[in-house]
Amino acid sequence: MMDACRILVVEDDSDINALLCRILSGAGYRVDSAFSGTEAQLRLQMEEYDLLLLDLMLPGLAGEELIAWLRAEKMMPVIVLSAKAGLDARVNALRLGADDFIQKPFENEEVLARVEAQLRRCRLFSPAQQSHRLHIGRLMLDSETMEAQANGRKLALTAREFAILELMMRYPRRVFTRENLYEQIWGEPYYGEDNTVNVHISNLRAKLHKADPKGEYIKTVWGLALKWRRRIDVARPQ
């Protein structure tokens, strides 16, 4: 339920921090605030949160370092706040391990919509009637513990990378267009110009390859669609 969700706001500007807390608490969320990366890390070690709303420019532990640490420790959505505009800023945030990006100055409604979408994505694949543990070849995914392994090695995935992987593992024969993935994982209309899906797929492929160099899991079909691919060993002509 929404009122059970806990969000940690990490922003060193006290006015923006207070504003975000008011927006989120007014929508029924339980909100804590931190004003540095070091304080945020301590809170994350002591408490359980459902989502992290994070400014990258922080005193102490930098936002980028906090994301890297978080991805090695636990699975939770991360939304980055930044005054930087443009595609490069969004792509860089996603490559760091963020699941979404909000540009400053922001509208209250956008903050709430993006938070709701992230929390919805985390709960999308956890209904009781679905199996929470999936196995395909050397790949294992557990939706209850939010853990995934390839070739016995734990994958440090973002929430959206995990959701993409789970979706494709649940429907291994289905071909997904980028529009399919965007609308199912992000819950928003796809207009064909956003590079977000490509970035997440590229990151996911890289992490799978690092854990299992001999595995081939995601196949591009004619450059337009993606499908799950079991590893196939093909004998080369002598």
pLDDT in tens, 196-219: 888 999 999 999 999 999 887 888
**Closest CA relative to residue 215, chosen from 225, 223, 205, 201:** 205
- Which ranges of 102-233 would DSSP assign to H, the alpha helix? 108-123, 159-170, 178-181, 196-211
Q: Kindly write down the DSSP assignment for every residue of 21-44, as one continuous string.
A: HHHHHHTT-EEEEESSHHHHHHHH
Question: Is 79 or 228 the better-scoring residue by pLDDT?
Answer: 79
Q: Are residues 177 and 216 in the same domain?
A: yes
Question: Is 231 or 213 the better-scoring residue by pLDDT?
Answer: 213
Number of domains in the chain: 2
Residue 2 reports pLDDT greater than 80: no
Q: Residue 238: inside a domain, yes or no?
A: no
**Whole-number pLDDT of residue 227:** 62
**pLDDT tens track for 11-37:** 999 999 999 999 999 999 999 999 999
Q: Are residues 119 and 139 in the same domain?
A: no
Q: Are residues 12 and 87 in the same domain?
A: yes
> What gap in Å lies between CA 49 and CA 43, rounded to an integer?
9
Q: Are residues 7 and 117 in the same domain?
A: yes
By CB atoms closer than 10 A (0-12, 13-18, 19+), residue 238 is exposed
**pLDDT tens track for 137-173:** 889 999 888 899 999 999 999 999 999 999 888 888 7
Q: Are residues 173 and 195 in the same domain?
A: yes
**Whole-number pLDDT of residue 238:** 38
Q: Are residues 143 and 119 in the same domain?
A: no
Q: Residue 194: inside a domain, yes or no?
A: yes
Q: Residue 128: inside a domain, yes or no?
A: no
Instruction: Choose one of 123, 156, 176: the last residue of a domain.
Output: 123
**Whole-number pLDDT of residue 82:** 87
Q: Which two tokens stand for residue 161?
A: 């990378």
> Does the pTM exceed 0.85?
no
Q: Are residues 116 and 153 in the same domain?
A: no
Instruction: Choose one of 66, 100, 123: the last residue of a domain.
Output: 123
- What average pLDDT does range 62-91 have in this prediction? 86
Q: Are residues 67 and 137 in the same domain?
A: no
For 53-67, b/e burial (b = at least 16 CB within 10 A) is bbbbebeebebbbbb
**Whole-number pLDDT of residue 124:** 55
> What gap in Å lies between CA 85 and CA 198, rounded to an integer?
19
Q: What is the CATH number of the domain that holds 46?
A: 3.40.50.2300
Instruction: Choose one of 79, 99, 123: the last residue of a domain.
Output: 123
